[in-house]
Amino acid sequence: MDKPIHTHRFRYRCSITKLIFCWFTILLAFFFFFLLKTPSSNANHRVLPSLSTWEIVVVQSAKPRDNSTGHSVLVTGAAGFVGTHVSLALKERGDGVVGIDNFNKYYDPSLKRRRSDLLLRNGVFVLEADINDSEKLAKLFRLVKFTHVVHLAAQAGVRYALKNPASYVHSNIAGLVNVFEVCKSANPQPSIVWASSSSVYGLNSKVPFSEEDRADQPASLYAATKKAGEEIAHAYNHIHGLSITGLRFFTVYGPWGRPDMMYFSFTKNMLRGKPIVVFEGPDHGSVARDFTYIDDVVKGCLAALDTAEKSTGSGGRVEGRAQLRVFNLGNTSPVPVSEVVSIMERLLRVKAKKVVAPMPRNGDVLFTHANISLARRELGYMPTTDLKTGLRKFVNWYLAYYSESKR
Ligand SMILES: O=C(O)[C@H]1O[C@H](OP(=O)(O)OP(=O)(O)OC[C@H]2O[C@@H](n3ccc(=O)[nH]c3=O)[C@H](O)[C@@H]2O)[C@H](O)[C@@H](O)[C@@H]1O
């Protein structure tokens, strides 16, 4: 029997209503889904874009002004004293630079932050990470094909090794190996320039110190880790074809310097009317250093980078021998610490309260003196700043920096 027409209509209306209801429910579900999703996706945005922003900033920072001639350089220890100056100089001449620094507390981290701010204002991004963090380093190399690595991150200071020996092993041995490991696996492999130290000459008494002299009598753990670094560099060069240049820095000083160093701490104490302890050698002999001004050292670093040959390894294969070099970067004119104090007295117009004490057996050596003929020949390295001029520049910076900090 035929169903009454109104029943059909009713059913028909019902199914239309159901359909509309269904669609409406689906639309509503979508609406609520997106409504509820928005805040959490915003939360994600706080993470994701900051990650991609981080990546974009790295890529931008690494870009040379001119792609065909400029380098892309990773500078470790970029918020350090030498690292900051080298990064600025590279950026200024058109290279792309990315920095990495762990901002540790060995000395006032706010100085490192201020250096990092200065770098950022000049287009250099410094990533906060430790050189032992292989993941972070590998990530950087996935983002950028670095042509060079200037490895300056280290635990510095010869005397602090008595207090915290582990930090020297962590940064100067394990950290160095980690940097080499990441560089070795990168494709293409970068060329590496890294900071060794004049302290590797240790008890060597043949002057001036030449690269061929003995460097197997370290007087401090710091020196021992730097010398070990040179041997480790040899192994990575030999096995993996990494092009490596080690630079033996001689007591580098200047604006934005390290507060743990003598010229810096003496300035601070003299201005506050506090005593300074001046070490002397046996029989009241003077202790002297081949103080080298930062701008001269920066020129040496850039010349080392520019003359560095390409690494020869890739994908586990090595095509021929890679370059392995070591250079002294000194000033060739040692100055006794007592003379530094006299210069500071004149510059600061303050009489130092000197306490003369025998040099403790804590890692110090009596003197350093660089023979720079190899660096002159191969790098065109020629220091031009005498100690008086360099210290004047340091004092000017110091007074400006700390009067501004006070304000
Ligand atoms: O050339 C280097 O390779 C090394 O130079 C410096 O080491 P150092 O020369 O000992 O520099 P300072 O700590 O500034 O000492 C300079 C001189 O001042 C003397 N000094 C230091 C501190 C002090 O209170 N009194 C004092 O007479 C030291 O004996 C030394 O002769 C750096 O601190 C090291 O990181 C670097 O590697």
Domains and CATH numbers, the chain: 60-254+293-332+367-386 (3.40.50.720)
Q: ipTM of this predicted complex?
A: 0.99
Per residue in 245-273, pLDDT tens? 999 999 999 999 999 999 999 999 999 99
pLDDT at 23: 59
CA–centroid distance, 293 to ligand 1, in Å, is 14
pLDDT at 51: 53
The pLDDT-based confidence of 406 (bands split at 50, 70, 90) is: confident
Residues acting as catalytic residues: 222
Closest Cα to residue 368, out of 273, 289, 277? 289
CA–centroid distance, 267 to ligand 1, in Å, is 14
Q: Is 37's pLDDT higher than 80?
A: no
Alpha-carbon distance 217 to 220, whole Å? 9
Cβ(287) – ligand 1 distance below 6 Å = yes
134-139: Cβ within 8 A, 24+ apart:
134/178, 134/181, 134/182, 136/100, 137/100, 137/178, 137/179, 137/182, 138/182, 138/185
The pLDDT-based confidence of 316 (bands split at 50, 70, 90) is: confident
Alpha-carbon distance 259 to 57, whole Å? 30
Cβ(156) – ligand 1 distance below 6 Å = yes
What count of Cα atoms within 13 Å lies in the side-chain half-sphere of residue 113? Answer: 5
The pLDDT-based confidence of 13 (bands split at 50, 70, 90) is: low
Cβ(62) – ligand 1 distance below 6 Å = no
Alpha-carbon distance 325 to 251, whole Å? 20
The pLDDT-based confidence of 17 (bands split at 50, 70, 90) is: low
Q: Which atom of ligand 1 is nearest to the CA of 250?
A: 1
Q: pTM for this structure?
A: 0.89
pLDDT at 399: 98
Q: Is 31's pLDDT higher than 50?
A: no
First-to-final CA distance of the chain: 100
Q: Probe ligand 1: pick from 164, 248, 260, 262, max atoms within 8 Å of CB?
A: 262
pLDDT at 46: 37
Percent with pLDDT over 90 in the chain: 84
Greater confidence (24 vs 57) lies with 57
Q: Which atom of ligand 1 is nearest to the CA of 156?
A: 35
